[in-house]
Chains A and B, each alone.
Chain A
Amino acid sequence: MTQIIVTGILLSGTYALIALGLTLQYGVARIMNLANGETLVAGCFIAMWLFTTLTINPIVGLLLIAPAAFAANWAVYRVALEPLVKRAKNRGQLEVDSILATFGLLFLFQGMMLLTFGGEYFNYTFLAQRFDIFGSGFGLNRVVAFAAAVVIAVGLYIFLYHTRYGTAMRAVSADPKSANLVAIDVARTAAIAFALGGALTACGGALLSTFYTFNASMGVVFTMKALIIVIMGGVGDVRGAVLAAIILGVAETAVASLIDPSLTLAATYTLFIVVLLFRPQGIFGRPTS
């Protein structure tokens, strides 16, 4: 039982990073980024490439991957998504447009990665040692990835809640029009939030790659999980996303070890249905009219 809970929590660290990336993109930049999983997969591949060719430790590699992902996502937002934001007459229009446009990005990125790496599964060996928690053994790589995820998530929390810029971001998330009135550059803040979200997701991917077997077309599954975590936690809510990630990680691990490993998506969906039926506004969310 403790084995399941600890494994689940260790897994939830990376889930939380991916979901935090998505919640920033959707909450602040108003883009439901369905290509988020592809950013994650790109993070996996870059981390592997850095480790196998340049022997750069994946944790150190984050220092390269995060700025690169930030720049790439910033460019994607400016080129492909901002025109849609400007064109949209209302929120619903932007939602449909951004969903379709990010589907396009999803297939484009996935296709390019498939052309480069093919459809095979990849993994590499990093810190594959035993680490004891409460008397049971866990992979040291999982523990390190979790610790790194915690550090990044805490950093994000401090940024959002204790800096001027983070406060501006939360203001845009709450209401872009009013944020504009108090002299916040909404367009710029949205672009940075989108880029920051991409950087978080890529970090999640890099950490995931240290203990997980990945391939070029697995992005959608992770996008799906991240979306469910974001909705469970409430859009734009950091604490909610972290708690939801833990719930999802533990539930998945429990189903995989107690019932059948092939039913993890069923576990995810069961949680999703429960949330939709009882708390569609999220765990900490307040009901909206």
Chain B
Amino acid sequence: MNSLSQKEIIIGIGGVLAFALAACLPLVDQGYYLSLAVNITLYAALCTAWTLFSGPTHYVSLATAAFFGLGTYAVALWVDVLPFPLLVAFGALAAGALAGIVGAATLRLSGVYFVIFTLGLAELVRQIVTWAQATFTTRMGLYVFTDLREMHIFWMLLALTAVIFLTGWLINRSRLGFAMRIIGDDETVARHVGIDTAKSKIVLFIISGAFIGIAGAICAPRYGYIQPTSAFNPMTSFLVVIMALLGGTRKLWGPIVGVIPFVILMDFITVRFSNYMPVAMGLSFLAIVFLLPNGVTGRLEQAWNKFQSRKSAPSSTETAA
């Protein structure tokens, strides 16, 4: 491991300050803005966890809702008998285990199989949970009563986001991160230099899935009443993909750039024009593919590089011609 560079220290201090500042929000407002901030932090955590895996591999994962729902259910099933932190760990384990199974079945093959498998995964888990509940219990939903209030959930999600960032940074510095960069550039090369590509991807997918499971577990007390249809809502998966890609997945902080405006926009649409939500999502996907293939941060980076190269070589266009 290398020691920290000056730039990294500055970014680190800036990040800590930003998180500390955000954590003060409940002191200012406990109503609408806190609720909006919880949504933003939740999607920031989900999208960053998604990017941990999908950023370097370019595999579009739609398993988010499945992991999230498992985390929620881990809490809902045992909240009356076991302490909450233990249940959050259960959520991480359950989601990580599912990620491991999905990864083992699909990540040895090309990306299409993976996308297809994850496309129906949330629905599959939902069907199994619904069936199990109907067969083995009499109730359809589960109540989650805790002393946790909105601001506690906000702080926990904020802490989770920070941990995901830290993990992402550590992975980047590790052998796994190095391997992922090579795999992302050229998988054939990666295999030839002796990287176990399938194993690396599966490990990364498990880490990403476990974090999403934790986010689901943290959110369980917020919903109060848990039903399969709300816990495994497939929209979550699609929204995460849109927001992460909108921000850009080349940098770990990229998704946040997409999350903040999109959650605010989504809030606006669901209040005023809830019927138009699917159309808005469809247009967002098309806009990302056609206008922002590398996300907002990718576009900014491009502009910055152009600006830099123009500054260093003002007559480059003439020499090229």
Chain A residues in contact with chain B, CB under 8 A? 32, 34, 80, 83-84, 92, 95-97, 99-101, 103-112, 114-115, 220-221, 223-224, 227-228, 231, 260, 262-263, 265-266, 268-269, 272-273, 276-277, 280
The answer to whether B127 touches A265, judged by C-beta atoms less than 8 angstroms apart, is yes
Shortest CB-to-CB span from B3 to chain A, Å, is 37
Neighbour of B105 across the interface among A101, A112, A221, A276, CB < 8 A: A276
The answer to whether A92 touches B58, judged by C-beta atoms less than 8 angstroms apart, is yes
Q: Which A residues are CB-close (under 8 A) to B285?
A: 100-101, 103-104, 107
Shortest CB-to-CB span from B307 to chain A, Å, is 24
Using a Cβ–Cβ cut-off of 8 Å, how many residues does chain B contribute to the interface with A?
A: 43
Q: How far is the CA of A103 from the CA of B116 in the complex (A)?
A: 12
Q: Which A residues are CB-close (under 8 A) to B109?
A: 276, 280
Closest to A114 in B: B278
The answer to whether A273 touches B105, judged by C-beta atoms less than 8 angstroms apart, is yes
The answer to whether B116 touches A228, judged by C-beta atoms less than 8 angstroms apart, is yes
The answer to whether B286 touches A32, judged by C-beta atoms less than 8 angstroms apart, is no
The answer to whether A100 touches B278, judged by C-beta atoms less than 8 angstroms apart, is no
Q: How far is the CA of A80 from the CA of B282 in the complex (A)?
A: 13
The answer to whether A97 touches B289, judged by C-beta atoms less than 8 angstroms apart, is yes
Asked if B130 is at the interface of the complex by the 8 Å CB criterion, the answer is yes
Q: Which residues of B18-56 have CB atoms within 8 Å of chain A's CB atoms?
A: none
Q: Which A residues are CB-close (under 8 A) to B123?
A: 221, 224, 265
Asked if B151 is at the interface of the complex by the 8 Å CB criterion, the answer is no
Q: How far is the CA of A92 from the CA of B123 in the complex (A)?
A: 27
Asked if B276 is at the interface of the complex by the 8 Å CB criterion, the answer is yes
Q: List 29 A-B contacts (CB under 8 A).
A: A80-B286, A83-B290, A92-B58, A95-B110, A97-B289, A100-B285, A100-B289, A101-B286, A101-B290, A104-B284, A104-B288, A106-B282, A107-B238, A107-B281, A108-B283, A111-B277, A221-B120, A224-B120, A224-B123, A228-B116, A231-B113, A262-B130, A263-B128, A266-B124, A269-B120, A272-B117, A276-B109, A276-B117, A277-B105
Closest to B121 in A: A269
Q: How far is the CA of A177 from the CA of B241 in the complex (A)?
A: 33
Q: How far is the CA of A59 from the CA of B241 in the complex (A)?
A: 40
Q: Which B residues are CB-close (under 8 A) to A266?
A: 124, 127-128, 131
The answer to whether B286 touches A111, judged by C-beta atoms less than 8 angstroms apart, is no
Number of A-B contacts defined by CB within 8 Å:
117
The answer to whether A110 touches B278, judged by C-beta atoms less than 8 angstroms apart, is yes
Closest to A105 in B: B282
Excluding A108-B279, A224-B123, 8 further A-B contacts by CB distance (< 8 Å) are A104-B281, A104-B283, A111-B281, A220-B119, A231-B116, A266-B127, A268-B120, A280-B109
The answer to whether B105 touches A115, judged by C-beta atoms less than 8 angstroms apart, is no
Listed residue (B276, B287, B290) with the most chain A CB atoms within 10 angstroms of its CB: B290
Listed residue (B112, B275, B293) with the most chain A CB atoms within 10 angstroms of its CB: B112
Shortest CB-to-CB span from B273 to chain A, Å, is 10
Neighbour of A265 across the interface among B124, B245, B279, CB < 8 A: B124
Shortest CB-to-CB span from A154 to chain B, Å, is 28
Shortest CB-to-CB span from B137 to chain A, Å, is 15
| Binary contact track B93-125/A, C-beta < 8 Å → 1, others 0 | 000000000000110011111011101100110
Given contacts A92-B58, A220-B119, A224-B120, contact A101 B281 (CB under 8 A): no
Q: How far is the CA of A289 from the CA of B71 in the complex (A)?
A: 39
Q: Which B residues are CB-close (under 8 A) to A265?
A: 120, 123-124, 127
Q: Which residues of B116-155 have CB atoms within 8 Å of chain A's CB atoms?
A: 116-117, 119-120, 123-124, 127-128, 130-131, 134-135
